[in-house]
Structure 1
Amino acid sequence: MAQRGPNPHSSRPRSAEVVIVGAGIMGAVVAARIRELRPHASVLMVDAGPPLGSALGHHLHDTPDEEMRSQFLARAERANQERYMSRGGADAGRDLTAVPPGMHPLAGFGHDTAQMPGASIGWNLGGMSVHWAAATPTPFGSEIPAEIDRQEWDSDLLTAQRLLHVHPAAYPSDAVGDAVLEVVQDTLEGRGAEGRHPQPMPVAMQPHSDGRLHRTGPGAVFPAIERGGDDFFELQHSTIVRRVLTEDGRATGVVVRALDSDQESVVHAPVVVICADTMRTPQLLFASGLGGPAVGRHLNEHAFLAGTILVDLQRLGVRETTPHLDGEWFTSASWLPHSDEEQPFQAQIMQTPVDGGADSPQEFAVTMAFYVPTEVRADNRIEFSAEEEDIIGMPRMTVRFGYTPKDEALIERARGEQALIAERLGRFDPSQPSTLLPAGSSLHYTGTARLGSSADGSSVCDPDGRVWGCEGVLVAGNAVVPTALVANSTLAGAVTAVRAGRAAARLLGG
């Protein structure tokens, strides 16, 4: 069962013990946990997207495909997700083989995102996980779901950090970064919980023998995605899972369709784990008649307040600077952790040298993105059409999203904090001033298949990701997170994937 790639769809049904929908970080974590607990379980992983380059599941920062890597680096240097995005959209009609792999606006696939114009998805094998910035700040306080026992959470968090290869401070010490953090700390006047002071950003990166920091992609989490070599694992890309099949309240398999064919086929499986991102996981649940009234509801995303500050090194008293590492566009990456009410924002801080001109001192450009939590509300949601389809042939989505007065007040408070820090460091870059990016621009969406403690209609699954009312169907990833995240969402989502992988193994008798 070691085949990797699109498979011919024959009339003869195939089978596996587990089908994992989605080959991103979350699907890779689920596969890794199943393999650790059930070494010989047969696993089929299905991803709608085509490969990006020749290395399956490889982060684009480190892909051996030099042309693909150069394109990624050129776009990633634009400093935030909103600028990284391709705004061309999927304009190939229903010929999905003509849609170029990469990041695309959700609207390009036929959905209504007027209220969340930045909403985007990864249309490639591995989804966003081969593009992501690899920031993995640790969830704190109200971000941690109350429905999960705290000791279990802490243990599962360690497992997620291990699988994602999280490094607490991968970048070398940097005099400019240290000086910036001192200014941020002084501006806060000591606000923040113990250990939640400005500090180096934990990242899913590891120093490599080639001198670069290698980002974690799905293939680093579950190597069989990239290299094969697992006789009980099959990867099928460029294939859409149309619906999950059930009988008498139990999973029986999935219906799949290859992008280059209108022919559908059935894969029989007693366990199906859906890790198809925060937009497409509830879409598949809706198409399958699963999950109940909470499917698509409680869509959440922190507000994204971007800005670049030009820092005068003489003003900071910095005389020596640190050069870039090979392949990096920042000299360091730091963060201001949030502390709930005491300090409600997260700031992601990265700096790079810029040429101030012959008549100006050397400057550093400090990208300082503030993430501002927003209230979790059922009315922020994805509505699915029972009649209209997107270009893939799945239920068309309409995204309903807005900020409350409390959200708006907190955004203005964050803007004031950001402006005060900028004043003390230097000045905003006129070309990149403090800007509230369109909703959806952070790419950190959560909640649309949220976990809960009971099947009362307010949640989709239990704390282990088991979908209410259907044995053998599980969900994992950011969609499952029920809380308002201030930090980047990957690590919290990965904890749900650790739990779903363990639950899937138990269903197989592991």
Structure 2
Amino acid sequence: MNVTTSFAEGSSMQRVLMNRLHAGGIPEATDLPLAVDMRGPRMGEIHSNAWFSSVNFLAYALNDKPFDLALNAYTTRVLVENGRAVGVSVMSPDKRTHIIRARNVVVSASTLETPRILLNSGIQGPAIGRYLTNHSFLLGTGKISRSQFSENIGNLSILKRETRQSPYQIQILGPDQYFSYQQFEEKVLPEQISVVYAAFGLVESRRENRVYLDPGERDDYSVPMIQVNFSYSDRDNAVINQMREGIIRSAASMGVALDGEPALFPPGSDVHESCTCRMGTDPATSATNRFGQIHGVSGLYVADNSVIPLLAAANPTNSTVALAIRMTDHIVLQSR
């Protein structure tokens, strides 16, 4: 996944503001780790797609063996026979139903859609759809004079890590939109440049936060729509207050004048929803085992954010990809 902390290496803005954070009593500030390909061309390889995406794995897989890819196929149900997954039922845009048979079925449709498919398939599990977890998300912006940095200002990519006492992280990015820019994009910076503070807070995993089927509402393919029940606890709100104070303190240490009070976004704005098919050993509180296989259904696996058992303050994407690779290795070993 090419995770690196060298994205802002050599940037005067990074060096100056990192030093100010440390001097201001925020030692947990560090270079932001990013899944980005920093390698140069070598032996004819061209590394032009810098940002990592799991979609890249589809291209890599073709180097191993050919595979079939069903396009515009809307999955409605997982097919289970005698306690084992045997395929999926899909519908094409013309609403025709097709059956795709498989030795193993891996559902990776998102934290909201995966439990919807499983529940619509009649797959029972007291934890399926439960324990919906996301991050509380605050966003702050501010201004600082570019004259405080060298002419070749570089970019800003700082992470204020979470700690036990401060269970949130802040991603500090800049200048303006040039945290990342194209090679040939003209970079024009005003005298006062913008710095962004994106804070993600720890949220409790609670059983009552869930997604569930609404039999009274169906989509165009006659699949029941979902309803979402979610709220922040008193502990979550306490973390939100810490996040707000953390942004204000970080900006003051860096010499950044905030544009106003950091804004709390509605639940789901972080796009980090997780845990609705969480893995674990107890079927009463988890949907899958440690390899992502649904309890009681052989050959049926989950491989998206929903399988994460608990969500820390960090973006879960790389953890989800790592768990999916681990699950794939398990399926290969089981299939030999």
Q: Is the 8 A contact 1:224 1:233 kept in 2?
A: no
Q: Which residue of 2 aligns with 1:179?
A: 16
Q: Percent identity?
A: 26
CA apart distance, 1:199:
1.8
| Structure with greater proportional helix content | 1
The question of whether the paired residues in 2 share the 8 Å contact of 1:170 and 1:206 is answered with: no
Distance in 2 separating the partners of 1:275 and 1:211: 28
Matching residue's letter, 2:257: R
2:303 & 2:124 partners in 1: Cα distance? 13
- 8 Å CA contact 1:472–1:507 kept in 2: the answer is no
Amino acid in the other structure paired with 1:335: L
Alignment partner of 1:261 is 2:94: yes
Q: Displacement of 1:223 after TM fit?
A: 1.5
Given the alignment, which residue of 282, 286, 304 partners 2:137?
Answer: 304
Corresponding residue of 1:342: 165
Matches of 1:170 and 1:429 in 2, distance apart?
Answer: 27
2:305 paired residue number: 478
Separation (CA, whole Å) in 2 of partners of 1:211 and 1:179 = 30
Partner-residue secondary structure (3-state), 2:16: helix
Q: Which amino acid aligns with 2:3?
A: V
- Normalization by structure 2: what TM-score? 0.87
Deviations 1:334-355 (A, max 9, x none): 211112x13322111111159x
1:431-442 paired onto structure 2 within 5 Å: 433-442=261-270
Distance 1:353 1:435, change over 3 A: closer
Cα deviation digits, residues 388-407 of structure 1 (max 9, x gap): 31344322111111111111
How far did residue 270 of structure 1 move?
1.9
Normalization by structure 1: what TM-score? Answer: 0.59
* Structure 2 equivalent of residue 235 of structure 1: 69
The 5 Å alignment of 1:287-302 reads 287-302=120-135
CA distance in 2, matches of 1:181, 1:476: 37
Residue type at the aligned position of 1:399: V
How far off its partner does 1:251 sit? Answer: 1.1
Corresponding position of 1:222: 58
Measure, in 2, the Cα distance between the counterparts of 1:287 and 1:212.
42
Aligned residue pairs total 318
Instruction: Pick which of 211-220 and 241-250 moved more.
Output: 211-220
User: Within 2, Cα distance between the matches of 1:491 and 1:268?
Assistant: 30
Note if contact 1:177-1:351 (Cα within 8 Å) is conserved in structure 2: no
Deviations 1:339-372 (A, max 9, x none): 2x13322111111159xxxxxx923311111111
In the alignment, is residue 165 of structure 1 matched against residue 165 of structure 2? no
Alignment of 1:63-462 (within 5 A): 164-190=1-27, 197-207=28-38, 214-224=50-60, 228=62, 231-258=65-92, 260-314=93-147, 317-323=148-154, 331-339=155-163, 341-352=164-175, 362-424=191-253, 425-429=255-259, 433-455=261-283, 457-462=284-289
8 Å contact from structure 2 (residues 112, 276) kept in 1: yes
Rounded to whole Å, the distance in 2 between the matches of 1:182 and 1:229 is: 46
What corresponds to 2:333 in structure 1? Answer: 506
> Distance in 2 between the 1:231 and 1:213 partners?
23
Secondary structure of 1:342's aligned partner: coil
Name the CA distance, whole Å, in 1 between partners of 2:63 and 2:144: 50
Q: Distance in 2 between matches of 1:468 and 1:332?
A: 45
Question: Is contact 1:307–1:428 with CA below 8 Å preserved after alignment?
Answer: yes
Shift of 1:485: 2.0
How big is the shift at 1:218? Answer: 3.1
What is the CA deviation profile of residues 427-450 of structure 1, one whole-angstrom value per residue up to 9, with x for unaligned ones?
A: 1135xx510111111101110000
Alpha-carbon deviations, 1:380-425, whole Å to 9, x = none?
A: 1112123431344322111111111111111112111211222332
Instruction: Give the gaps of 5 or more residues in structure 2.
Output: 178-189
SS of 1:278 mapped into structure 2: coil
- SS of the residue corresponding to residue 112 of structure 2 reads helix
Q: 1:369 to 1:263 in 2, by over 3 A?
A: same
After superposition, the CA RMSD in angstroms is: 2.3
Aligned-partner residue type, residue 51 of structure 2: R
SS in 1 for 2:69: strand
Instruction: Note the alpha carbon deviations across 1:72-125, whole angstroms, 9 max, x for none.
Output: xxxxxxxxxxxxxxxxxxxxxxxxxxxxxxxxxxxxxxxxxxxxxxxxxxxxxx
Aligned CA distance change for structure 1 residues 167 and 221 (closer, same or farther; 3 Å):
farther
Deviations 1:131-187 (A, max 9, x none): xxxxxxxxxxxxxxxxxxxxxxxxxxxxxxxxx232332344211122222233333
Rounded to whole Å, the distance in 2 between the matches of 1:396 and 1:219 is 27
Report how far residue 229 of structure 1 moved.
5.8
Equivalent residue, structure 1, for 2:183: none
Number of the residue aligned with 2:180 = none
Q: CA deviation at 1:278?
A: 0.7
Change (3 A) 1:188 1:276: farther
